[in-house]
Amino acid sequence: MSSNRQSPKEPLVAIMGTTGTGKSDLAVDLAVRFNGEIINADAMQMYRGLPIITNQISDEEQRGIPHHLLAMVDVDEPTWTVSVFVREASKLIREIRSRGKLPIVVGGTHYYISSLLFGNSLVDSPDENDESTFTAQLEIEKMHPILAGPTENMLEKLKEVDPVMGARWHPEDRRKIKRSLEIFLTTGKRASDIYQEQQRAKGAADSENTSWDALMFWVYANPDILKERLEKRVDKMEQNGLIGEVRTLHEHLRMKTAAGVEVDRTRGIWQSIGFKQFESFLLAEDNGEDINTLDKLKVENMELTKIATRQYARYQLRWLRLKTIPELKHHGALDYLYLLDSSLASDFAPNVLIPASNIMEAYLDGCALPKPASVSKTAKEVLSTYAAQDTSNKPKAEARLCEVCNMTLQTEDQWNKHVNGQRHRRGLKHKSRTALMATHQAKAAQAEDTETAIES
């Protein structure tokens, strides 16, 4: 990287990575060293009163550093949309800078961070400053009842008003279908048109060759090591009161239901890992099942929680690989992404904290930054592999439903593989046999009716 770079005019640090890698610990350490304040970019950690199930950093671990957007949303509120997060985080960034401090954004909701860095979120309202962007979700649903109705009705309407987005989403992806339809109903503009406008605006901004100012840290752990770490973390969460928090949520939901209030469990805190997985245990408790049954369900639900946690980590990693890296390549900013290997917890300081501090010091002083691949062997291997991937020829997503197998395929390639696969062929044979049986039964019934008519 060029040695004649200047100190950033508007410094910003973003810390990303999968769950369980130590992002929060790094953020606090950098904030202490460089006079920073932290902005939470984890959607679930915004909810108050649930520190265990959402894995919130404790007051002691915060070390007196201000943490914004943490534990400040009620459980009955929906998850923040991307544009609301970007707007509020941007305000906080300006306020933090005005105090002469360094804004540090940290979290695992990578589409939040991506939209903040790259400006690729869909807007809620034609007017970015319009307070209607904060209109409660329930009020929006009162204005547009279809948003509270069945997913298939929303998808049918979306295909009518915005065919591009209607074809993009999986028929069962209620959240994305609802979001796209909500954009049209509340703004009068199609989400696909807004996205195209943003792409054009981004292209125009890119042509101005504006310099990149944000510094990014990717806290990474070897997948095998991370798997074991996440399982231990779930065990620790259970010891610290996970089931108690889940039970509180379950009781809250039960009271809402008893009061005739319909709760959309496809969004908000109801999507948190742990709640859905322990539902069978809680229902068994309600039904007064014996201790042996409860113990068995508890073990099964713990395993489901561990599986869901591992799946979420893979999803986060996939986002970084398929979304963040290509965006950085597009902006010519890959040299500002530093991978820090937190695989060995005992070496967290020499492998993560110290390198990050040295890089931060050079970044803020306007000195030459080291090449990201030079930080560690792991950084060189992972970054070179991901940077070399080609995502330019990804097939266009267009969901197609196989009625034989009751499966939805997102791309043409997936569709072709499916219809030529064994599962589909078995489905066709089963459907053929079923049709023959139905025909045979119909003929037999007809013959029986004929005989009955003759006898009578």
Over range 284-306, report the average pLDDT.
Answer: 94
What is the pLDDT at residue 143?
A: 82
Long-range contacts of 156-164 (CB under 8 A, 24+ apart): 157/181, 158/184, 161/190, 162/190, 162/191, 162/192, 164/190, 164/192
What is the pLDDT at residue 387?
A: 81
What is the pLDDT at residue 130?
A: 31
For residue 69, give Cα distances in angstroms to 48, 107, 412: 10, 11, 41
**pLDDT confidence band for 268 (50 / 70 / 90):** confident
Q: Is the pLDDT of residue 79 over 50?
A: yes
Q: What's the sign of the alpha-carbon dihedral 216, 217, 222, 226?
A: negative
Lowest mean pLDDT among 259-263, 393-397, 401-405: 393-397
| Burial of 268 (C-beta count, 10 Å sphere; 0-12/13-18/19+) | buried
What is the pLDDT at residue 135?
A: 39
How large a percentage of the chain has pLDDT more than 90? 58
**pLDDT confidence band for 108 (50 / 70 / 90):** very high
Most confident of 79-88, 237-246, 412-421: 237-246
Lowest mean pLDDT among 29-43, 256-270, 288-302: 256-270
**What letter represents residue 144's amino acid?**
H
**pLDDT confidence band for 173 (50 / 70 / 90):** confident
Lowest mean pLDDT among 91-105, 130-144, 265-279, 332-346: 130-144
What is the pLDDT at residue 443?
A: 57
Q: Is the pLDDT of residue 257 over 80?
A: yes
What is the pLDDT at residue 445?
A: 54
Most confident of 215-219, 290-294, 330-334, 392-396: 215-219
Lowest mean pLDDT among 76-85, 312-321, 337-346: 76-85
| Degrees, nearest 5: CA angle 87-268-260 | 130
What is the pLDDT at residue 122?
A: 46
CA dihedral 351, 354, 359, 365 (to 10 degrees): 180
Q: Is the pLDDT of residue 141 over 90?
A: no
Q: Write the pLDDT tens digit of every residue in 276-289.
A: 899 999 999 999 99
Q: Write the pLDDT tens digit of every residue in 57-75.
A: 999 999 999 999 999 999 9
What is the pLDDT at residue 245?
A: 95
What is the pLDDT at residue 263?
A: 85
Lowest mean pLDDT among 89-93, 188-192, 419-423: 419-423
- For the chain, give the mean pLDDT: 84
What is the pLDDT at residue 123?
A: 40
What is the pLDDT at residue 129?
A: 32
When comparing pLDDT for 437 and 114, which is higher?
114
What is the pLDDT at residue 447?
A: 54
What is the pLDDT at residue 62?
A: 97
Structure tokens at 231: 């399982």
What is the pLDDT at residue 68?
A: 98
Structure tokens at 447: 């013959």
What is the pLDDT at residue 456?
A: 43
Over range 33-45, report the average pLDDT.
Answer: 97
Q: Is the pLDDT of residue 119 over 80?
A: no
Over range 357-363, report the average pLDDT.
Answer: 97
Q: Is the pLDDT of residue 226 over 80?
A: yes
**pLDDT confidence band for 380 (50 / 70 / 90):** very high
Q: Is the pLDDT of residue 223 over 90?
A: yes
Q: Name the CATH architecture for the domain at 12-122+190-388.
A: 3-Layer(aba) Sandwich (3.40)
Over range 316-332, report the average pLDDT.
Answer: 91
In whole angstroms, what is the distance from residue 150 CA to residue 266 CA? Answer: 12
